[in-house]
Amino acid sequence: MESTNILIIDDSPVDRKIMRKVICNGISGVSIIENEDGKGILPLIRKNSIKLVILDSMLPGISGIQILEEIRSDFYFQDIPVIVCSGLDEEDVIKKTLSLGAFDFFEKPLSDRAVKFLMALKVRNGLELVRRAEEADFLRDHDPISQLNTRQYFEYNFKKYDRLDYYPLTFLMLDIDGLKIFNDAYGRSEGDRVIKAVGSFLIEHAKNLHICSRWGSDEFLLLLSDYPQQMCEELVGELKNYLDNVEDFHGINISFGLEVVEEASGSELLPIQKAEEHLYSNKIISSKSIRSQMLESIRQTLHEKNPREERHSKRVSEISEIIARELGFSEFEVKKISMAGLMHDIGKISVDESILNKPGNLHREEWEAIKKHPEMGYRILSASTDTVDIAKAVLTHHERYDGKGYPQSLSGEDIPLLGRLICVADSFDAMTGPRTYKAVFSMEKAVGEIVKNSGTQFDPTIVAAFIQAVDKGLISV
């Protein structure tokens, strides 16, 4: 465990020895740094990460007040607790040091009470104040999920690296592609696992790293020295490989953009803006394929949870495509309805596996969980403008023509056409396919149910197209 460093500034070796003994005997886990002349105090505090200072009020050639003023004027050390040692007749010194922000004081020569307990108690109180302040600073400056610095911390602190010895500086921005879809499919707690994993990897593997911050909900910004593009590409490649090997991180990908600054640019935020522009350029190029990979990964995971769903989704897709052709859909629309059929139950990824595979009837709470899958599927698919129509079909494939369906109780042509079509295909395959909770219907019985519910559960126009396809032998069990 790292020790807590305390600085004693006193010209008396005897007093320093007594104070060291009293403090070390009374408080565990502390180390004492000594100074006898009050010179070079700020570098000494910086070098040793001093947490508390005990300061003699009078030193050779310099007063304790001067040293206290020096500490209090420094931006980084102004809040360090300083306990002042003063003589019995130095009332003005005590008033002055306390007015300058000294934490506490005690008198010299040290009294029996000070040696027995008072000094150790005052030092312990000062260190507790430091601990609480550091805890508050950490909570303020760090993102609670990733444990990385916040965006505000980055914006406030990166300017300190605008010095010749830090250049060239690299601003590297990363983005977790598809995190919203991942959250919708697997839950926010799983998305938080991804964020934590990315943050931990970056802290452990990025060399010459000054600041690593969570810049947005799915974005990270790093400030590094002497980190050219090739090294950035290697780091991102290693991160991708790492995520690929983490269990349950389905389809996660990382995009990145960077800006290398050789010297001061004159605009503090310009390098960040450039890195962001490069990131979004890269995302535009790869976004469609990444979304497709993510959706396919979610679909495959659902089928692993419930293998019956894979056969059902393919069958609904095929039947929907046949009905669409009977209705005279264009090839583009046929492909769209085919995809909607494949994806219509993707929202079931959020339903517990035990419910999906339950052999008997579902309890009310279990049924309510199942009924949420159209909305969950909509959330997953509506993340992209490319799949908005498919998302609407998925959302509405359990609506009824008479308005008694779910989740929105839509009726008639207020239900999107693709949703009405999938409703027929889904119902037919649900009746004729293998099920754990009901007996399988024959072809004749299933077709009869579709016809019987035309105008109530199903759109009559779509039912007519379905019957045409059945009569032509295009749909069978």
Confidence at 289, pLDDT banded by 50, 70, 90: low
Confidence at 262, pLDDT banded by 50, 70, 90: confident
User: What would the mean pLDDT of 341-346 be, rounded to a whole number?
Assistant: 92
Residue 296 has pLDDT above 70, yes or no: yes
Confidence at 230, pLDDT banded by 50, 70, 90: very high
Confidence at 24, pLDDT banded by 50, 70, 90: very high
Lowest mean pLDDT among 6-15, 215-224, 353-362, 447-456: 353-362
pTM: 0.65
CA-based torsion, 223, 226, 228, 232: positive or negative? negative
Alpha-carbon distance values, 135 to 76, 80, 127 (Å): 16, 14, 12
Contact between 439 and 451 under an 8 Å Cβ cutoff? The reply is: no
Contact between 68 and 97 under an 8 Å Cβ cutoff? The reply is: yes
Return the closest-CA partner of residue 340 out of 356, 321, 365, 358: 321
How far is it, in rounded angstroms, from Cα 86 to Cα 324? Answer: 93
Contact between 55 and 33 under an 8 Å Cβ cutoff? The reply is: no
User: What would the mean pLDDT of 54-81 be, rounded to a whole number?
Assistant: 91
3-class state of residue 28 by DSSP: coil
State residue 285's pLDDT score.
Answer: 62
State residue 162's pLDDT score.
Answer: 83
How far is it, in rounded angstroms, from Cα 237 to Cα 254? Answer: 9
How far is it, in rounded angstroms, from Cα 12 to Cα 56? Answer: 9
Residue 366 has what DSSP assignment?
H
389-401 confidence digits (pLDDT tens): 899 999 999 999 9
Helices (H), 52-187: 64-73, 91-99, 112-113, 119-141, 151-157, 179-186
For 57-72, the DSSP string reads: SEETTEEHHHHHHHHH
82-134 confidence digits (pLDDT tens): 999 987 667 888 888 889 999 999 888 888 888 889 999 999 999 999 999 99
Token pair listed for 220: 């990270």
The contacts of residue 241 (CB under 8 Å, 6+ apart) are: none
Residue 290 has pLDDT above 80, yes or no: no
Alpha-carbon distance values, 126 to 74, 86, 103, 122, 130 (Å): 19, 18, 7, 6, 6
User: What would the mean pLDDT of 312-326 be, rounded to a whole number?
Assistant: 95
What residues does 52 pair with on adjacent strands?
6
When the pLDDT of each residue in the chain is averaged and rounded to a whole number, the result is 90
Residue 161 has pLDDT above 80, yes or no: yes
**Exposed e or buried b per residue across 220-248, where buried means at least 16 C-beta atoms within 10 angstroms of its C-beta:** bbbbbeebeeebbeebbeebeebbeeeee
CA-based torsion, 441, 443, 447, 450: positive or negative? positive
How far is it, in rounded angstroms, from Cα 56 to Cα 10? Answer: 5
Residue 73 has pLDDT above 70, yes or no: yes
State residue 265's pLDDT score.
Answer: 61
State residue 304's pLDDT score.
Answer: 80
State residue 111's pLDDT score.
Answer: 86
